[in-house]
Amino acid sequence: MSNTQLNGKDFLTWLDFDRDEIDAILETAHDLKRKQIRGELQTDVLPAKSLFMLFYNTSLRTRNSFEAGMTQLGGHAHFLQPGAVYTPALKGEEEAYSTERVSDVARVLSEMGDAISIRIYGNKTGWEYGKGYKILKKFAEWASIPIINMEDDGYHPCQALADVMTMQEKMGEDLTGKKFTMSWAYSGSVEKPLSVPQSAIISAGMMGMDVTLAHPEGFDLDPEVLNSTEKLAKKHGGDFEIVHDMEEGFEGADVVYPKSWTVQPTDGGTADLDKAEKLFSENEDWITTEDKMGLTNDAYYMHCLPADRDMEVTDEVIDGPNSVVFEEAGNRLHAQKGLLSLLLS
C-alpha cells in the first residue's frame, strides 16, 4: 500500500478502515521502531509538519507520545489546552464558556498546520454518550486536514494500535485464533469511559482473534460496537463471545486486558453515577490476581494505564513476568509515528 492511499484521511475509529489499511499502519510502526532501535534518524519523514493537539482531558501517555513522535519524525506538535485558549462550541449549543464554534476553529487551524488531534470525553453526570465523537465528526466535517482521535467517549483507536502492535511483537504478526479476553475490573472510581474496551475488542476482532468480553451484568457496551466486533471477528477467522464471569473469561486466554469502565447508557441517556457506584461495590472481586492468571494459557497481561493497583490488579501481576504494560505504553509512540507518517506524508 502506498502512502497516498492513507494521506489526508481522518483517524476517528478503526471501523472507518479496512484490514489492509490497518496492516499498513502497523507495518510502518514496526519498521520505524526497528529504525529507532538501530539509531537511524527519522527526521526526514515529516519535516516541518505541524500537529495541533487539543486536550479537553488530561493525558500522560497520549500527549508525550504524540509530541515525541512528531519531533522524532522531524515535525512539531502544538499543545492546546482548550480551557486556557478556547472551547469550541457546536452550533446551537448553549455553553457559557465557549468562544468559538468548531467550524471556525477547524478552518483556522487548517490554514496553519497539517493535522489536528483531539481528546474529548466526559465522565460526570450530564455528559451524554457520543457527544465527544460528535464533536470529532464536526471537526472532520470542517477541517481540510486530518483529524486524529486521541480518545473520545466511545473510541480510543490510537491505544488500539499500540495494543495490537504489542501483541504482534509477543505472538507474531498473525494473531488469528489467539484468545483475547477484554474483562471489566473493579475500581474505586466509577468515572471510566467505554473507549478503551470498545476499541480493544474492535481491533482484536479485526485481527481475527477469538474475542471474549467478560463483565458483570449491567456493564454492557455499545450494541453497535458489539455487532461490529462479531462481524469483524468472523470475517477475519476469529470468534466473539460475551460472558459474565471473570474466571470463565480468563480460562485458556492468550491475552487478558482487565480494565474498568462505567455504567453508561449508549442510547442517548447520561450516566447514573449512583447506580454505577452500587454495581461497582457489588463486584469488588473482579480483580486480576495470580490465581486468575493461572487459569490462562500463560497469558500476557495488558492495560492501557494508569491501572488502579490493588483494585483492578495486584502488584504481583502488573509487575510480574507476563505483564507487558510498559512495552504497550512505549508502543504508543511507535504506533502513532506509523499513523502520522502515513496520514501526513
Domain match, 34 and 140 both: yes
Domain match, 183 and 99 both: no
In DSSP notation, 109-123 reads HHTT-SEEEEE----
Domain match, 145 and 293 both: no
Domain match, 94 and 217 both: no
Residue of 104 and 161 predicted with greater confidence: 161
Domain match, 336 and 292 both: no
Domain match, 167 and 221 both: yes
- Find all residues with CB under 8 Å of 41, minimum gap 6, and list them: none
Domain match, 131 and 186 both: no
The domain of 204 spans: 159-328
Total number of domains constituting the chain:
2
H or E, element range at 147: strand 147-151
Domain match, 182 and 149 both: no
Domain match, 178 and 29 both: no
CATH for 277? 3.40.50.1370
What pLDDT, in 10s, does the model give residues 270-322? 778 889 999 999 999 999 999 999 999 999 999 999 999 999 999 999 999 99
pTM of the model: 0.95
Contact 157, 13 (CB under 8 A): yes
What pLDDT, in 10s, does the model give residues 177-229? 999 999 999 999 998 999 999 999 999 999 999 999 999 999 999 999 999 99
Cell digits of residue 222: 455499545
